[in-house]
Chain A
Amino acid sequence: MSATVKVTVDGRTIEVPAGTLITDAAREAEVHVPIFCAHSKLPPLGACRICVVEVGMPKLGPGRLPVTGADGAPEIAWLPKVQTGCTTTVADGMHVRTDSAVAVKARKGVMEFLLVNHPLDCPVCDEGGECQLQDLAFAFGADFSRMADAKRTFVSEDLGPIVKKEANRCIVCMRCVRYCDEMMGDDALTAHQRGVLTEISSFNRQPLECEQCGNCIEVCPVGALTALPYRFKARPWDLRQHITVCPYCPAGCSVRLGVRGMEILRARGTEFRGVNQEYLCVRGRFGYEFVSSPDRLSSPLLRLGGSLAPAGFDEAVTYAAARLRDIAAAHGPQAIAFLGGDKLNLEEQYLFQKLARGVLGTSNVDARTRATARLPGDAILRATGAGRPSLTLDQLSRAGEALVLGDDLQGEAPYVQSLLILGQHQNGLHLTVAHPRRVKLARSKFGGEWLALKPGSELTLVNALTAASLEAGVPAGVPAEVGAALASLASALGSPEAGARETGISADDLRRAAKRLCAADQKAIVFGRAYTEHPQAAALVQAIENLGWASGALTAKRASVMFVGPQHDSQGALDMGLTPDRLPGYVDPADAAARRPFEQQWGAALDLSPGLSAPEILEAAAEGRVKALWIVADEWVKSAPDRARIERALERCELVIVNDLFLTATAKRAHVVFAAASFAEKEGVAVNCERRLQRSARAISPRRGARPDGEIFQAVARGLGATWSYRTPEDVFREIARLTPGYQGLSWAQLLPLGPQWTSPAPLAGPRIAPAIAPAAAEAGDGLWMLSGGTLFLQGSLSYRGAQLPKLAGEARARLHPDQAQRLGIGDGDTVEIAGSGGSVTLAATLDDAVPAGSVFVPYAFRECDLNRLGAPAGAGLRVRVRKTAAALVGA
């Protein structure tokens, strides 16, 4: 495969890998071959013909020797017809001409044809100025038109709330149709009619039934598809473009914000950079609107005399520092806890915990605020290979087998879902999806295997897969100690048959799934919050580590297990030690040698005992043991596992500090509220789910009165007497890179455009293989299983502050299997009450056969529906009663 071939393009000879397309080889040779229908994520099509070139091979004479001409140069036998560069792969010795009379005429001919029916409405076209057709007409087109006849015309259509179609501008390149199918798995677009009447639309011309990602707009090379939310807002040359990292999931897509003045007018993918290139999901593309929300906080707030009132920044800092100092003095630093931070940039995360550990002396630090049980700070690290070189997102889409455990990636990480769909379509990837609901990836059209486990049997499932994997023995190439541990683990685990009973998945299916995983050369295990926020999280993540080693997804050299965390910088939060038991770089505070650099740098002796985890902090605060909370960018009131307890905790605390963009329900209960800058208003690094570091640019200056979180931490630290003097995030990053195992040697400059994945020369933790057992999740009676999870259109409290996402999301719905609904006498649209041990929520019901009978599904992102009111824990394991309270309005 490593074979290369020599090819000459317009006289420039270059060497490229065999199998390279002429268009790519030409780019390599710095010769511009235009393309329209070709796209890096789509198989070659060869439809638009704009990439036509002349192709030839050296003439061979007697003895297969090249014939040379009078000038000694080899004579080329040019093919009689021009070839499309986007479908033709290079051969050794091939010559390509783009500048010959034949090639130029062919290209100009195609260009002219493309304009035959194209309207002359560039001045009112959103694409104008960044239109590939316009650019090429400028570069290659004629300066006059021979077309004097009437153009064929269509009527324009709105294909739902996002996509505007102006079919007259369409050049029928089929990118949109193919992208929607190959990448999104939605097939929402199609071509109607044929020939010159070919028109792109939805089936039946109804609003598009799809993820509303707008990628069709992005890949459309002309202005045939434009975004309704952006329509007529700006001319592209009026926009400054800044590349940031999307704040909505750990895929870490690069988002190019288009800014005019202080206003963000649109978000786009980046085409040639970023993990995503052109891709954005609906959240990435339309979710930036909260940045310019009029509801943003415009100054810090202080609770004086019972109510929150605007305060100056210095005043708030002084107050916060004084109160923190007092409480630490009165009750000891362990009475203070720092929560949240997985939405912060890496540098801010570092400063947050440095402030806690180094300045205040508390190790009660945890970013994982939705967790329902304590999870060791290095558990996820171990399960994902302890810093060994790990799977990239690109490799994920090229895996032979991918096992997706527990999460609905459509909600948690849409781009990861798309990469799996792409892999399934183009690279022979086989999917195994373990989820109680038939989530999108488990649909039969993706040809995968759906392991429809019974809710609550997650741990049994992972253990059974491990047991089935080990039936074939210990995989070759694992370290000796791992091999021995796996062998004894095998005898401790029950047979797949036992697992079958509990999970409801047959032992054969379990064995087949394990076998596929073990047998695949390139494999991947993907897991996320469904397991890390599970009441049995510690055992589950241990079970994943076991399965990783048992299936060969973890080896001494490589890791193919990916953690798709709940927030865009969840990985950074783990890396930076926003966990109570680990310092940055997963350093164990009990390890004196490893701890020393931090103590030296921070000028403080560290608290060696592990701090409290988020659920423990919640409990301690509710019981009055923790007296001060600093909650960063986290709507904890709504997301903490138990509503009654969090309310009590916030009431009892003497000091609650909140950093946020908005006066959230949590902020309303605070004593100090710092107005924070949004992702677009600050520079910094985020670490995505493949552990890739990416630097995000500052697109606009912070909203008046708001400050980047890092600045707030520094100000308070200084108020507490620390001598911090970071001028830029780069200063902080340099300190991180100096101190943090795994990050050593990384430089700020290297993180742009696309930084590396961090890896550690030596694993940051030894393998630990142990039986993964947990006390059964409390069986709370005989109600329906309460299933929850992420949803596509909303993610976190910021997502519902804009206009588009809430509109697309509609209202929260309780989803029930039609059979289940019938048994309960519930019809589509009826209002139902869901009652748990702690309380109830009321919302409309929708019938959905993707939800298993015996359960009810409500996504957790809806602002009007706080699932934590149902009682603890809100994750798996909760039983609820569902009853109808009002019938649907007829016709509604």
Chain B
Amino acid sequence: MRGPLLFSDIDTPGLASLEGYRRGGGYATLAAVVGKKPADECIEIVKQSGLRGRGGAGFPTGLKWSFVPKNSPRARYIVCNADESEPGTFKDRELMEKNPHLLIEGMVLAGYAIGSNTGYIYLRGEFEYIQRILDRAIDETRAAGLSGANVAGSGFRFDLHTHLGAGAYICGEETALLSSLEGFRGQPRLKPPFPAVEGLYACPTLVNNVETLMNVPHILNHGAAWFRQWGTEKSPGTKILSVSGPVKRPGNYEVPLGMPLSQLIDDLCGGMRDGMKVKAVIPGGSSVPLLPASLLDTGLDFESMNAAGTFLGSGGVIVIDEGTCMVDALWNITRFYEHESCGKCTPCREGTYWMSEVLRRLEHGEGRADDLDLLADLADNILGKSFCALGDAAAMPVQGALLHFRDEFEHHVTHRSCLVNRRRDGLSVVRPCEQAHA
């Protein structure tokens, strides 16, 4: 058993088929709930469970469900956010690959709870093979009467569709996702109105992450109190963490929320590889500020991470070892945001470009004395001024790195060489033009 809840049976052979899923009790909750339990009660149970969104923001799921207007004359939609584009995050992929039916059951139940008859699963473009897995599973459920015109004989209709994105990180942001799903440019929209009120095709729409929705069948099956046996008061349940970096056993781990970060790294992942030492950890995908090694005891839950000045985010735990140059790492991250900035708003579009230009110079030993203040100021001019959280996500790593590792940046400027990675001495030499001179 790799984990208490979603991972309890994840490696069971044949789980991806309807038959295999049913063998482990799959769709029993659906049969027991749809048409039998009042929809409001379902929402109430999810509220009581304290489940929080697993897509990054940690918004209380039950509360979000209750925002969907009950008596809107318009259609209501459920959209599963399976874009999983946050660097360092790879949990939804394993979940959907191995247990597609749990997601389907979760979506049908969510649809039942908010009175929606149509669901979309929005997958990142690279997940084409997962789309095939999901489509096959959806076909199976339709044939078995578990989705489609008459779910489990209840008279409730729920149709499910999958949709592939075209390769933009921003399409993981819920409103950009909806634009993309409608066939427009994937760019975020103004909130309010929030999707729950005016989402897909201007209809009330519930957007939830894969992992969030996969918790739903368990919660409706066993109840809120049962769910709360894991996790903390404010962050109940478990979370799947995707650990990357030079640990002995990188990969996905399902842990009760609140587990100290050090326990995850040292015990579950077996510590660092090749005698390396942790320098910093980005705990929630590249968009959140990093934690220096001194804060490794922070609990892996929403509130502890906030207290430590960062976020649990999507649960993409990126471990950085002492041999990694922070200038290089930050340049890498910033280039990602520059490349993925959708271009809608000025601070993010221009700021990420400028920051990565400055970082490129720093990395190549061409930095200037005032570049560090410039970087800090650019990050500040983006943070809180951009249209969506991507801009913030680009600014926060810069601020974090400068706060905790300023000496490394200064060394790049003053010595034109790397403090950390001696192998990269004399950085400017790598410039092609100077190579020609040498």
State the total of A-B contacts with C-beta under 8 angstroms.
96
From 133 to 166 in chain A, residues with beta carbon under 8 angstroms from any chain B beta carbon are 146-150, 152
A116 lies within 8 A of B384 (CB): no
Q: Given that A49-B386, A194-B168 are contacting pairs, would A114 and B346 also be in contact in the complex, using a CB cutoff of 8 Å?
A: yes
B246 CB to closest chain A CB (Å) equals 31
Q: Given that A116-B350, A117-B350, A191-B185 are contacting pairs, would A109 and B344 also be in contact in the complex, using a CB cutoff of 8 Å?
A: no
A83 CB to closest chain B CB (Å) equals 10
Q: Specify which chain A residues have a CB less than 8 angstroms from the CB of B350 in the assembled complex.
A: 113-114, 116-117, 196
Q: Which residue of A lies closest to B357 (CB)?
A: A149
From 800 to 829 in chain A, residues with beta carbon under 8 angstroms from any chain B beta carbon are none
CA distance A417 to B341 in the complex (A): 37
| Complex interface bits, A455-497 against B, C-beta within 8 A gives 1, otherwise 0 | 0000000000000000000000000000000000000000000
CA distance A109 to B342 in the complex (A): 19
From 312 to 345 in chain B, residues with beta carbon under 8 angstroms from any chain A beta carbon are 338-345
Q: Which of A82, A171, A193 contacts B385 (CB 8 A)?
A: A82
| Complex interface bits, A763-790 against B, C-beta within 8 A gives 1, otherwise 0 | 0000000000000000000000000000
CA distance A196 to B384 in the complex (A): 19
A195 lies within 8 A of B343 (CB): yes
B343 lies within 8 A of A198 (CB): yes
CA distance A248 to B185 in the complex (A): 37
A196 lies within 8 A of B345 (CB): no
Q: Given that A171-B346, A196-B343 are contacting pairs, would A47 and B387 also be in contact in the complex, using a CB cutoff of 8 Å?
A: yes
Q: Specify which chain B residues have a CB less than 8 angstroms from the CB of A105 in the assembled complex.
A: 381
A116 lies within 8 A of B354 (CB): yes
A50 lies within 8 A of B357 (CB): no
A47 lies within 8 A of B346 (CB): yes
Q: Specify which chain A residues have a CB less than 8 angstroms from the CB of B349 in the assembled complex.
A: 113, 172, 195-196, 198
Q: Specify which chain B residues have a CB less than 8 angstroms from the CB of A150 in the assembled complex.
A: 357
B190 lies within 8 A of A87 (CB): yes
CA distance A165 to B134 in the complex (A): 45
CA distance A45 to B340 in the complex (A): 20
- A110 contacts partner chain B, Cβ-Cβ < 8 Å: yes
- B244 contacts partner chain A, Cβ-Cβ < 8 Å: no
From 54 to 106 in chain A, residues with beta carbon under 8 angstroms from any chain B beta carbon are 80-82, 87, 105-106
Q: Which of A47, A87, A113, A197 contacts B354 (CB 8 A)?
A: A113
A343 CB to closest chain B CB (Å) equals 44
CA distance A191 to B185 in the complex (A): 9
Q: Given that A87-B190, A194-B168 are contacting pairs, would A109 and B347 also be in contact in the complex, using a CB cutoff of 8 Å?
A: yes
Residue of B341, B354, B368 most packed against chain A (CB within 10 A): B354
Q: Which of A109, A110, A194 contacts B343 (CB 8 A)?
A: A194
From 111 to 129 in chain A, residues with beta carbon under 8 angstroms from any chain B beta carbon are 112-114, 116-117
Q: Which residue of B lies closest to A102 (CB)?
A: B384
CA distance A47 to B346 in the complex (A): 7
A195 lies within 8 A of B185 (CB): no
B342 lies within 8 A of A195 (CB): yes
- A46 contacts partner chain B, Cβ-Cβ < 8 Å: yes
Q: Given that A82-B384, A113-B354, A196-B338 are contacting pairs, would A49 and B347 also be in contact in the complex, using a CB cutoff of 8 Å?
A: yes
Interface size, B (range):
20 to 34
Q: Given that A106-B381, A149-B357, A149-B361 are contacting pairs, would A47 and B342 also be in contact in the complex, using a CB cutoff of 8 Å?
A: no
Q: Given that A45-B190, A47-B387, A81-B384 are contacting pairs, would A149 and B343 also be in contact in the complex, using a CB cutoff of 8 Å?
A: no
CA distance A194 to B190 in the complex (A): 18
- B358 contacts partner chain A, Cβ-Cβ < 8 Å: yes
Residue of A82, A87, A106, A195 most packed against chain B (CB within 10 A): A195
A890 CB to closest chain B CB (Å) equals 39
- B147 contacts partner chain A, Cβ-Cβ < 8 Å: no
B385 lies within 8 A of A109 (CB): yes
CA distance A116 to B345 in the complex (A): 14
- B148 contacts partner chain A, Cβ-Cβ < 8 Å: no
B345 lies within 8 A of A49 (CB): yes
- B353 contacts partner chain A, Cβ-Cβ < 8 Å: yes
CA distance A87 to B190 in the complex (A): 8
Q: Given that A47-B346, A109-B385 are contacting pairs, would A195 and B352 also be in contact in the complex, using a CB cutoff of 8 Å?
A: yes
| Complex interface bits, B179-193 against A, C-beta within 8 A gives 1, otherwise 0 | 000000100001000
Q: Specify which chain A residues have a CB less than 8 angstroms from the CB of B387 in the assembled complex.
A: 46-47, 49
A52 lies within 8 A of B354 (CB): no
A16 CB to closest chain B CB (Å) equals 20
- B351 contacts partner chain A, Cβ-Cβ < 8 Å: yes
Q: Which residue of B lies closest to A48 (CB)?
A: B346
CA distance A105 to B347 in the complex (A): 13
CA distance A149 to B380 in the complex (A): 19
Residue of B340, B349, B382 most packed against chain A (CB within 10 A): B349
- A753 contacts partner chain B, Cβ-Cβ < 8 Å: no
Q: Specify which chain B residues have a CB less than 8 angstroms from the CB of A196 in the assembled complex.
A: 338, 341, 343, 349-350, 352-353
- A44 contacts partner chain B, Cβ-Cβ < 8 Å: yes
Q: Given that A194-B343, A195-B340, A195-B341 are contacting pairs, would A110 and B353 also be in contact in the complex, using a CB cutoff of 8 Å?
A: no
CA distance A196 to B349 in the complex (A): 5
A80 lies within 8 A of B381 (CB): no
Q: Given that A147-B354, A195-B338, A195-B340 are contacting pairs, would A113 and B384 also be in contact in the complex, using a CB cutoff of 8 Å?
A: no
Top 4 nearest A-B pairs (CB, nearest first) are A109-B381, A198-B343, A113-B350, A195-B341
A contact residues vs B (CB 8 Å cutoff): 44-50, 52, 80-82, 87, 105-106, 109-110, 112-114, 116-117, 146-150, 152, 171-172, 174, 191, 193-198
10 contacts between A and B (CB under 8 A): A46-B345, A87-B190, A106-B385, A109-B380, A112-B381, A113-B346, A149-B361, A171-B346, A196-B349, A196-B353
